[in-house]
Amino acid sequence: MSPRLLDLGDGALTLELSDRIDADLNARVIAARDTLAAMHLDGISDLVPTWRSLTVHFDPLRLNRELLSAHLLQAAQVAPQKSALTTRWLIPVCFGGESGPDLAQVAQATGRSEADVVDALCATELRVFLIGFLPGFPYLGELPPWLHLPRRTTPRTAVPANSLAIAGAQAAIYPWQSPGGWHLLGQTPVRLFDVHDAVRPALLAPGDSVRFTAIDPHEFRRLSFAVAAGDCNRDDWLAQ
Amino acid sequence: MIEVIDCPLPATFQDAGRPGYRHLGVPLSGALDPEWLAIANALVGNPPHTVALEMRLLGPKLRAMEPVTIALAGEFSARIEDASGQSRPAANWRSHTLAAGDLLQIGSLRSGIGYLAARGGFDLPLVLGSRSTYARAGLGGIDGRALRAGDRMKVGAPPGLCSVAGATVISLQLPHAPVLRAAPLRVIPGPQRDCFTDAAWQQFLGSEFTVSREADRMGLRLDGPRLEHARGADIVSDGVTPGAIQVPGDGRPIVLLADCQTVGGYPKIATVIGADLPRLGHALPGQALRFIAVTQAEALAARREAATVLAATVASICTPGPALDLDALYSANLIDGVIDAN
């Protein structure tokens, strides 16, 4: 489909590139976001890229809607850069046990061993499609088809913070304790959102790539303490 | 310092919210009615977006631990009780100076929400550019949560103007209380108007909806006719904003408010225009709502008009006439320890 503009009230506009989930489309969304951001238009408060669209929140008393529309349709034509995956992260995860109470069930439902599930997750390079739902909450994709499972029939009222969870083609990490219906496979010691960092509070950004590396409960505790003590910084989680 | 004696229903600190962080999943938050927030602040001489206490449904009971000047914006009854047990009403839409030990009791809010501003604002940490409370992620306010009994709220600047004998108490009032329009809420169709049948669209515009009990700062679930989707209720999540009216599979619309998430996976049949968001924020469970479609040009004109009306309202704020300013006199006397007002 060709790009189109959708009215989200009188203070926001959505540039829709597609109605599907697709890594190439997501890269075009990011390219459109970067193009618009570089224009520094007065009156824009937020540029929110999603799977397949870019929403611009603006003040119509300061920025002419027709002008913004024209810029958005132009930005939709910008080809993404070849190195679309800007930052590569390696996130340590403690799988199974208390940290991943659904690992056994997921293994059973997919007809594989727990080790197979863990290996598959660690072998897949995932793309950050979107940050949403909660501050710093990344939607990661896409999982190998055999790992696609429907959500739990009964959502948990409290998913512990830092849980790695999967549902459908997606994986995610909960930066906060929250209700949730995804399958919990493990927990990371990494802090995904730092409220004290006003410049870059979220660790991950759309377009980044993420891989997981398995750690044991002892290492999980050690790293969790180190993060809490402020002995880790974001560069520690960059892939080499 | 103001101490919270009792706070039976959630009250939160709010300012202009956190624009600029929505791409990181951080909701906008901020005052549901930024116009009333601006008026409350103007009544104590603060800039319009200074953080104030947003009260919902029922107000708290507070005690001033030092002299402090506050203003009340809303439709509710409030009383001030001094240390000797004497009680007097505290009018809305004006400032009041509380003496150390004064109790302020705020009743039920007939307009859904109301604001308590303090001269100098409340001394709270800035989190991602705002002091607004967003409880789901523990951001802003006092420890990222709603107000509760035992909390102590530090007021940003000393009242100064009313602490010494003989000093003038600066008291301000709004001569005419603002009126919340009862007209239908104006909406722009979409962004997913085409996900609904024409019959559903006619029903949306032609019916009366009622705010259900599921109503908080994230949104209002509405009771009324079920709106029929043209082809399923799931879309791949896209951006949402306060005022967007999303319709999940059960056909019951949800109007999003200031604390709404940044993206959503339900189709949005229409979006309430910016000029009508403040009065949407006052909607109470049981209240009837209607919607009317307008054009972008009409929405823009409505924004301009709202800005003009707010500017005129703030400009009309004045000091009460001396004969009327009993409250300021009482306050001054209590602080000065003078018994005779003459």
> Residues B31, B123: one domain?
yes
Q: What is the pLDDT of residues B34-48, one digit of tens each?
A: 999 999 999 999 999
The pLDDT of residue B321: 65
Q: Are residues B53 and B169 in the same domain?
A: yes
Residue A83 counted as domain residue: no
H-helix segments, chain A: 23-39, 65-75, 103-110, 114-123, 217-228
Kindly report the length of chain B. Answer: 342
Tell me the pTM: 0.91
Q: How many residues does chain A have?
A: 240
- Scored b (16 or more CB within 10 A) or e, B58-71 reads bbbbbbbbebbbbb
> What ranges make up the beta strands (E) of B143-236?
152-153, 185-189, 209-215, 219-223
Using the predicted structure, report yes or no on whether residue B342 has a pLDDT greater than 70.
Answer: no
**Residues whose CB is less than 8 angstroms from the CB of residue B155 and which lie 6 or more positions away in sequence, other chains included:** B1, B2, B66, B68, B118, B119, B120, B121, B122, B123
Which of B18, B236, B245, B266 is the best mutation test for A, with the most CBs of A within 10 A?
A: B236
Helices (runs of H) and strands (runs of E) counted in chain B: 5, 21
pLDDT at res. B157: 58
Kindly state whether residues B167 and B221 are assigned to the same domain: no
In the A/B pair of chains, how many CB contacts fall below 8 A?
A: 143
Query: Which of A25, A40, A75 marks a domain boundary?
Result: A75
The pLDDT value given to residue A166: 96
Q: Which of A124, A161, A160 is nearest to A142 (CA)?
A: A124
Nearest-Cα distance to chain B for A114, in Å, is 30
Instruction: Mark whether A60 and A114 lie in a shared domain.
Output: no
How do beta strands B291-293 and B185-189 pair?
parallel
**Residue B246 belongs to a domain with what CATH number?**
2.40.100.10
Angstrom distance (rounded) from CA A182 to CA A134: 15
Q: Are residues B189 and B161 in the same domain?
A: no
At residue B327 the predicted structure's pLDDT band, cuts being 50, 70 and 90, is: low
Residue B51 has pLDDT above 90, yes or no: yes
Residues A63, A94 within the same domain: no
Residue range of the domain that includes B191: 185-303
Say yes or no: B296 and B324 in one domain: no
- The reply to whether B214 and B326 lie within a common domain is no
Structurally, how many domains does chain A consist of?
2
Q: Is B305 on the interface with A (CB under 8 A)?
A: no
Tokens of B222: 């509405």
Quick one: A199 and A223 in the same domain?
Answer: yes
Express as a percent the part of chain B with pLDDT over 90: 82
Q: Is residue A80 part of a domain?
A: no
pLDDT, tens only, B161-206: 444 333 345 789 999 999 998 899 999 999 999 999 999 999 999 9
In a domain, B260, yes or no: yes
- Residue in B25, B137, B236 nearest the CB of A51: B236
Q: Using CB atoms and an 8 Å cut-off, which of residues 37-96 of chain A contact chain B?
A: 45-55, 57, 60-61, 65
Interface touch A202/B188, C-beta < 8 Å:
no
Parts of chain A with a pLDDT under 70: 82-85
On whether both B63 and B121 belong to a single domain, the answer is yes
Q: Does A62 fall in a domain? A: yes
pLDDT computed for residue A184 by the predictor: 97
Range of the domain at A45: 4-75
Quick one: pLDDT at residue A141?
92
Residues of B in contact with A48 (CB under 8 A): 22-23, 239, 262-263
- Give the whole-angstrom CA distance, residue B225 versus residue B207: 7
How many structural domains is chain B composed of? 2
What integer is the mean pLDDT of B290-302? 98
Contact A19 B237 (CB under 8 A): no
> Which of B142, B162, B144 is closest to B154 using CA atoms?
B142
CATH number for the domain that contains residue A225: 2.40.100.10
Q: Are residues A222 and A190 in the same domain?
A: yes
User: What local confidence, expressed as pLDDT, does residue A198 receive?
Assistant: 87
Is residue B125 one of the residues assigned to a domain? yes
Q: Is the pLDDT of residue B329 over 70?
A: no
Task: Give me the pLDDT at residue B186, please.
Answer: 98
Cβ distance B238 to A195 less than 8 Å, yes or no, reads no
Check whether residue B68 and residue B196 sit in a common domain: no
The distance of B34 to chain A (nearest Cα, Å) reads: 15
* pLDDT at residue number B322: 57
Shared domain check, B164 and B191: no
- Residue B313, in any domain of the structure: no
pLDDT value for B310: 97
Interchain pair B243, A7: CB under 8 A: no
Q: Which two tokens stand for residue B100?
A: 């150390």
Mode of pairing for the β-strands spanning A209-214 and A126-131 = antiparallel
pLDDT digits 0-9 by tens, B228-254:
999 888 888 899 999 999 999 899 999
- pLDDT tens-digit map of B259-269: 999 998 899 99
- Residue A102 is assigned to a structural domain of this protein: yes
- Residues B148, B211: one domain? no
Residues A106 and A196 in one domain: yes
Residue A81 falls inside a structural domain: no
Reply yes or no on whether the pLDDT at B326 is more than 60. Answer: no
pLDDT (tens digit, 9 = 90+) per residue, A80-106?
Answer: 876 655 799 999 999 999 999 999 999
Q: Residues of B with CB below 8 A from A202's CB?
A: 24-25
Q: How confident is the model at residue B181, as a pLDDT?
A: 87
Q: What confidence category does residue B160 fall into, taking pLDDT thresholds of 50, 70 and 90?
A: very low
Structure tokens, B296 = 């972008």
B58 has a pLDDT exceeding 50: yes
Tell me chain A's radius of gyration from C-alpha atoms: 19
Give dist(CA B43, CA B33) in Å, integer: 16
- B154 and B93: one domain? yes
